Amino acid sequence: MDEDDVLTTLKILIIGESGVGKSSLLLRFTDDTFDPEQSATIGVDFKVKTLSVDGNTAKLAIWDTAGQERFRTLTPSYYRGAQGVILVYDVSNQTSFQQLDQWLNELDTYSTKGDIVKMLIGNKIDKDKREVTRDQGLRFARKHTMLFIECSAKTKDGVQCAFEELVEKIIQTPGLWENDTKSRGVSLVGGKAGAAGQGCSGYCSVI
Amino acid sequence: MRIAPSCDMDTRMADDVEESEVFEITDFTTASEWERFIARLEQIIHDWKLTTYVKGPPLKKGEFSTGEWEEQAESINFATVCFTVTEYHLKQTAVVEGSTQEENEDSLPQAMEDMLLMENDFPPRAHCICRWYGLRHFVVLTPVANSDAVLSESKINLLLSSMAIAVNNTNCLLPIFAQIQQKWRRMYTGICEAPGARTTFDMVHLKRTPHQYGHMEGLINIFKSKIATPISPLPQVKASIRFTYVLHDWTQYAWSLQPPDLDSPLGDEVGYPGFKALPFGAVEDPINELHLSATWPSQAENTIVDNDVYSDLDASQAPQWSVRLRLTEKPQCLLGEYLSAFAELVHNRDSTDQLLGKPAFDDMDDETSEQISQALQRLTDPGRVHLPTLSSVVSRARTRIRSRQKQVEAPISIDTLNELLWHLFPDAANQDESSESCDESEKDDQTEPINVQPEVKEWYRHFKSGPEDGLTYKLAVAMCVVNHSHGGLKAVAHLWQEFVLEMRYRWENVFLIPGLASGNPNMGCCLLHQKLQMLNCCIARKKAREERQASQTESEDMTSRTPGSSDQNIASENQETGSATDDATGSITPFASANQLLGDDPASNEKPRSVSKVSLREGQSVKSDSDSEEEFFECDEDSFPGSPSKNKADLDSSEMEVEEVHFQVGSEALETDRRVAISEANNETRSQKPSGRLRPCGDLKLLNKDELLYIPVTQDPAPMTEDMLEEHAEVLAQLGTTSEGAELRAKMQSACLLSDMQAFKAANPGCELEDFVRWYSPRDWIEDEEEEEDEVEVMEEQEDEEGRAREEGGAREGGASRRRIKGCLSQRMMLPGNTWQEVWSQSKAVTAHLQKRLFDDTKEAEKVLHFLASLRPGEVVLHLLPLIIHAALRRLEEADVEEVPSLQPHFPGLVSKASRVTRAPTQDIRKYEELVKQISLIEEVIARSLSLKAKFLPPKSETETPRHTGALQQFVCDLMDKPEVPVIGAGRGPVGEAIHQLFGAAQRAAHMLPEVEADLQDSPGKVKYSHTHSSVPDFPRPAGREFIFRTVAPRPAPYSQPTPQRMYCVLVDEEFRLAGAFSQDTTFQ
């Protein structure tokens, strides 16, 4: 991919309880492989991928975090500057779903961008034993204004789509990624100032 | 007069007319300048599509000033003179096609119709041509350079005829004007051509009003004579009249009624309360004048008498009133002034030394060398680490300040500086009064409340600054004030230098910095705040360490004197050895992190004390062993071959064997009742082996041993500021995305894992990786479910039990059932050679306090101090800008920005914009300057609103009914955001009355000495307008009088079609202007 074509570099964060398949999702997305023996992440891991959505090419720097409680004291620092966050739970594990609130809390506390795009992913839909219904996930996502998708890193279902959707959403959110060149500032005098300034402005001429 | 086009023009135009089949050479090579000018003008008219001009919808009332005007411009040359052609066009909502089509040939062009419309007389804000002639669409030709003004009569005529040719040739119905004479005179002449009719626009402009035309009667005479219609009687003339009165003397509401806060920073001569808050408000009245316009719309000429001797036109009787404000140009506003002066400093690139000169620098050298020698002294004398009392620290700090100041003439005076420092570091000031009583723990409390912020509005949540009224916030405000009022950049440099010295002082003397949110650097705050928090973390850790050492040496002394005699002694020893009992409350070892240590409640140690007494005596040798280990804490593990960690590990491995023996004994003993023996045995092992326990991990027990699983005391992960984090992330990211990279990354980050594993092993002798995983990553432990019930029972049993013996028994029984629990690690944890297993196999049992430090506070503190010291004052200011912007916005809020309706949408917008700017990855001074500008604007608007309120809504107005107040409030609001506000009820409404009073008061004040008549003699043309009661009229002489006369009359012959005629007159002190638009029939003449 030509460097010039890259519209922007986006920082994306993957969070969620340990063992819900965050690293597997990432691996599926970046390398299109699945490793049943994916080792548990220590601290944070990092991958890069360029992705084109609607003709816009974005370079994604994806930070994969460890879900373990003890590592969490470390990871919040990586929330900084992220434009998108993927919150993962395991559809075959109720607890991982129940913990979502806590993760959102953490996100709220540590993310530096107010309008960060959040995506909820229910992973491992290939498993027979489902403990969280699609509807539950949907409702949670709606309640917290997130994107929602269910997928499986193992069978590849929905993974690519999830990342594309997230990136598209980020690109569509003004002020989230651009270099702020267009200032959406306030003008106190109002739009008429230009026109009136050119002509003679009203009564200063009379008196 | 009609101007015939030249023959060249004719041939040119012939292209598309009848003679197209005749072959003929058209020669433009000889075209004159004049012809080229006309051609170009026609081309512009065609380009702008002004020939296919359609009528717009009827004008709405006031549309001239409220609507949006569109302009487009082109340049054009006449010989060497450059003109600009500009089209002005009122943007109106889309025209309905049907209505425009029905225009018939005979109807007059829109311009001529508009001249007669009454709805938009006297627009408060419009192009002067629009105001004079009531036009909504016109073209103006203006010479570009002032020197090119069209002055001579012949040139004017030439220009006018060129325009006439152009519009005739193009059939353009728009009026077209040319600016003539000097630009400042704003003289225009123009023409509007229509089929069968033409309007000429002409103007008279004089400096003085001729005596005979100083009233309506005289002006109507001019109008009639200009029309010179042959028919009589003349059609009736309608007049619209507006008189404008100026109020600039606000008498009792003079600007002494400033916002109250203005007085404090300037007026208060003692002290500098200004350090605490940013000033606010305008120093001069932001409202200069009030213009009251009394309007008589569309009166028949004979209903009003206005001549030399008498006038009907009394302002108080006028049917319409409207008010405009004349604002002070750029009033001096304090907040904006302070902020922009402060932001200005960012551009300065001088260093502190350059600014303050050498002496200050030398002095700092002395200071540091002294500190170094002190530090060396302390190193060589490790036995006696002495903690300076707070009072001594403070007094030293103060003498330091004073002595430093004597030599140099510092930008900030000593008194001011001391006051500033006390303001920034209130703990030092408090200390001054109650020197010894306040101990360290109390001091910690002082820093606490910063965390409990007053409920901050949601929109400040993402503001990357610092806690309000925190140290950095205060520093920013103080810096800003110091810059403005106490010596500018030098003073800023000075204060910063003092601040950095104070920071170093606090670090070296282990003295927490107040006014910072405690805990690790908060990435939601600005970098400077994070750096200071980092420093505070370092200080806290250093303090914890030194306290530990102090208590250690102390207790050592005491043990040697009276071993195990006093309770206090035992307690300290208990802590020291870290031989925690398995009591459920869990005792906290001395090597817990500082926070945990501070939270330690001595009462919780009450129970285990009796037990540990026994164990201590038994394990005396172990204790002394660990004591000796403590001394090596600071040393690097690897550099000592026989390092304590190794000893400890050896010890642990032997312990594990012992433990296993006990374990077997225990299981055999289960059948028979030998509880006492077992518990004794357990006591023994416990007292020796496990260390660094924090608390049990729920009710979990070790898998192959009948012991509760303990969470160890662990090292806190190293705090990081955002720049460190960025660096760290950069390093991690640079490892690339290969699997080797990932592995390396995992290794780099496994220090924390290793440390935790070591601590875990130390706290849980005989544990396995499975045990560790059950605490650390519970989801990687897969357990068979059917055993759960047993476990729960055991747990309940334990909780109920109080007696130690019984608990032991219970644990035994639990252990019996526990053994049957099946479980295994998750697949990923069992992978051979995965990092977890690798690290586990490498890790030895080492309690947290014996481990290599994950966080080197000395190094980090020095880094922070270096960072602070190396900032140029300009950079310091840039670092403080987020805070000062935050403070300024808060200041605006305090000034009731929300009560100004016109700012309603802007202020939250500004806040969110500001918060975006503060969060930008690179701080851009230009964006901050933009913010400062907008803050100043808002301040100006607020000041204006305050001024208006003071004038129209005086605080004590008992006489006014709520309805009146409501009306006045609405009026004040309208004045804020509309160019002109109509007064409901004119002079008789509540607002009108208030205005009337204002004028009356001003008049009385103005006429204390001179008589009314004196005025009149100055300007003979002026008529004395009616007084109401006293000899002094309530209204002054009108500053401006405007008349618009309109009629429809046939010109030039009696049988001509009647066409619109209009004349606008304005009479002000220095100007007399008549702008006439007279139409005539061009068919029947």
- Residue-wise pLDDT tens digits, B273-309: 467 777 787 777 777 788 888 888 888 888 888 888 8
Q: Residue B631 — φ and ψ, nearest 5°?
A: -60, -25
Q: How far is Cα B421 from Cα B499, in angstroms, rounded to an integer?
A: 8
Q: Of the candidates B548, B581, B591, B588, which has an alpha carbon nearest to the alpha carbon of residue B848? A: B591
Mean pLDDT over B755-778 rounds to 85
pLDDT recorded at residue B201? 92
- Find the closest chain B residue to A35 by CA distance: B828
Band (pLDDT 50/70/90 cuts) for residue A199 is very low
Q: Quick check: B44 and B200 in contact, CB under 8 A? A: no
Per-residue tokens: B62: 């006031």
Buried b (16+ CB within 10 A) or exposed e, B742-772: beebbbebbbbbbbbbbbbbbbbbbbbbbbb
Residue A114, min C-alpha distance to chain B (Å): 6
ipTM (interface pTM)? 0.78
- Cβ contacts of B481 within 8 Å, gap of 6 or more: B265, B272, B274, B275, B278, B279, B338
Greatest mean pLDDT among A67-71, B446-450, B960-964 lies in: A67-71
Please confirm whether the linkage preceding B1052 is cis (ω < 30° from 0): yes
A147-150: strand order across its sheet? A44-53, A56-65, A6-16, A84-90, A117-123, A147-150
The answer to whether the CB atoms of A18 and B752 lie below 8 A apart is no
In this predicted model, which residue has the larger pLDDT, B190 or B1028? B190
pLDDT recorded at residue B855? 81
Pairing of strands B197-206, B1071-1081: antiparallel
Q: How far is Cα B546 from Cα B567, in angstroms, rounded to an integer?
A: 23
Per-residue tokens: B803: 């007696």
pLDDT recorded at residue B319? 86
- Between A19, A186, A206, which is nearest B244 by CB? A206
3-state secondary structure of B889: helix
Residue B805 has pLDDT above 70, yes or no: no
Greatest mean pLDDT among B71-85, B296-310, B707-721, B938-952 lies in: B71-85
Band (pLDDT 50/70/90 cuts) for residue B95 is low
Residue B877 has pLDDT above 50, yes or no: yes
Chain B residues near residue A184 by CB distance under 8 angstroms: 913
Instruction: Kindly state whether A185 is in contact with chain B, defined as any CB-CB distance less than 8 angstroms.
Output: yes
Q: Residue A30, class by beta-carbon neighbours within 10 Å (0-12 exposed, 13-18 middle, 19+ buried)?
A: middle
Q: By mean pLDDT, which of B243-247, B371-375, B875-879 is the weakest? A: B371-375
Q: Quick check: B522 and B722 in contact, CB under 8 A? A: no
Q: Quick check: B873 and B355 in contact, CB under 8 A? A: yes
- Between B737, B779, B1040, which is nearest A207 by CB? B1040
Provide the β-strand partners of residue A62.
A12, A47
Mean pLDDT over B140-148 rounds to 87
Q: By mean pLDDT, which of B88-92, B400-404, B541-545 is the weakest? A: B400-404
Per-residue tokens: B735: 């490892």
Mean pLDDT over B124-137 rounds to 85
Residue A164, min C-alpha distance to chain B (Å): 20
pLDDT recorded at residue B188? 92
Residue B652 has pLDDT above 60, yes or no: no
- The DSSP call for residue B53 is -
**What are the CA-CA distances from residue B251 to residues B255, B284, B969, B1007 (Å)?**
9, 15, 21, 12
Q: How far is Cα B15 from Cα B782, in angstroms, rounded to an integer?
A: 96
Residue B1026 has pLDDT above 70, yes or no: no
pLDDT recorded at residue B1023? 41
Side-chain half-sphere CA neighbours of B156 within 13 A: 18
Pairing of strands B287-300, B708-712: unpaired
Q: How far is Cα B581 from Cα B591, in angstroms, rounded to an integer?
A: 16
pLDDT recorded at residue A120? 92
In this predicted model, which residue has the larger pLDDT, A191 or B844? B844
Q: Quick check: B971 and B960 in contact, CB under 8 A? A: no
Chain B residues near residue A61 by CB distance under 8 angstroms: 733
Instruction: Kindly state whether A8 is in contact with chain B, defined as any CB-CB distance less than 8 angstroms.
Output: no
Band (pLDDT 50/70/90 cuts) for residue A112 is low
pLDDT recorded at residue B177? 92
Q: Quick check: B438 and B479 in contact, CB under 8 A? A: no
The answer to whether the CB atoms of A188 and B906 lie below 8 A apart is yes
Instruction: Kindly state whether A174 is in contact with chain B, defined as any CB-CB distance less than 8 angstroms.
Output: no
pLDDT recorded at residue B176? 92
Residue A157, min C-alpha distance to chain B (Å): 22
pLDDT recorded at residue B409? 62
Greatest mean pLDDT among B91-100, B230-239, B457-466, B634-643 lies in: B230-239
Mean pLDDT over B821-839 rounds to 79
In this predicted model, which residue has the larger pLDDT, B705 or B963? B705
pLDDT recorded at residue A14? 92
In this predicted model, which residue has the larger pLDDT, B599 or B712? B712
Q: Angle CA(B694)–CA(B698)–CA(B703) in degrees, nearest 5?
A: 95
Q: What average pLDDT does chain A have?
A: 78
Q: How far is Cα B341 from Cα B473, in angstroms, rounded to an integer?
A: 18
Residue B136 has pLDDT above 70, yes or no: yes
Q: By mean pLDDT, which of B16-25, B78-87, B708-717, B748-757 is the weakest? A: B16-25
Q: What average pLDDT does chain B have?
A: 71
Per-residue tokens: B191: 């023409």
Show me where the domains of chain B are located. Answer: 33-206, 663-715+741-805+815-851
pLDDT recorded at residue B371? 53
The answer to whether the CB atoms of B779 and A207 lie below 8 A apart is no
Q: How far is Cα B922 from Cα B929, in angstroms, rounded to an integer?
A: 15
pLDDT recorded at residue B190? 92
- Cβ contacts of B1053 within 8 Å, gap of 6 or more: B230, B1081, B1084, B1085
Q: By mean pLDDT, which of B36-40, B137-141, B256-260, B875-879 is the weakest? A: B256-260
- Between A80, A202, A205, which is nearest B523 by CB? A80
Q: How far is Cα B697 from Cα A201, in angstroms, rounded to an integer?
A: 77
Q: Of the candidates B576, B659, B588, which has an alpha carbon nearest to the alpha carbon of residue B624? A: B576
Pairing of strands B981-983, B320-327: antiparallel
Residue B272 has pLDDT above 70, yes or no: no
pLDDT recorded at residue B23? 63
Interface mutation target, options B185, B247, B323, B523, chain A, most CBs of A under 10 Å: B523
Q: How far is Cα B75 from Cα B44, in angstroms, rounded to an integer?
A: 9
Mean pLDDT over B412-425 rounds to 79
pLDDT recorded at residue B984? 80
Per-residue pLDDT of A41-92, as tens digits, reads 888 888 888 888 878 788 888 998 888 888 877 777 778 778 899 999 999 9
Provide the β-strand partners of residue A148.
A120
pLDDT recorded at residue B257? 39
Chain B residues near residue A67 by CB distance under 8 angstroms: 777, 779
In this predicted model, which residue has the larger pLDDT, B17 or A126? A126
Band (pLDDT 50/70/90 cuts) for residue B221 is confident
Instruction: Kindly state whether A47 is in contact with chain B, defined as any CB-CB distance less than 8 angstroms.
Output: yes
Q: How far is Cα B498 from Cα B352, in angstroms, rounded to an integer?
A: 11
Q: Of the candidates B710, B712, B688, which has an alpha carbon nearest to the alpha carbon of residue B701? A: B710
- The DSSP call for residue B5 is P
Q: By mean pLDDT, which of A192-196, B396-400, B746-750 is the weakest? A: A192-196
Band (pLDDT 50/70/90 cuts) for residue B455 is very low
Residue B733 has pLDDT above 70, yes or no: yes
pLDDT recorded at residue A114? 66
Report the amino acid identity of residue B98: G
Residue B20 has pLDDT above 60, yes or no: no
Instruction: Kindly state whether A206 is in contact with chain B, defined as any CB-CB distance less than 8 angstroms.
Output: yes
pLDDT recorded at residue B594? 38
- The residue count of chain B comes to 1085
- Between B186, B779, B937, which is nearest A19 by CB? B779
Per-residue pLDDT of B159-190, as tens digits, reads 999 999 998 888 888 899 999 888 888 889 99
Per-residue pLDDT of B493-531, as tens digits, reads 888 888 888 888 888 888 888 888 777 787 778 888 888
- The DSSP call for residue A40 is P
The answer to whether the CB atoms of A17 and B913 lie below 8 A apart is no
In this predicted model, which residue has the larger pLDDT, B560 or B435? B560
- Cβ contacts of B64 within 8 Å, gap of 6 or more: B90, B120, B123, B126, B130, B131, B136
The model carries a pTM of: 0.65
Residue B723 has pLDDT above 90, yes or no: no
In chain B, % of residues over pLDDT 90: 3
Interface mutation target, options A73, A188, A198, A204, chain B, most CBs of B under 10 Å: A188
The answer to whether the CB atoms of A17 and B779 lie below 8 A apart is yes
pLDDT recorded at residue B668? 42
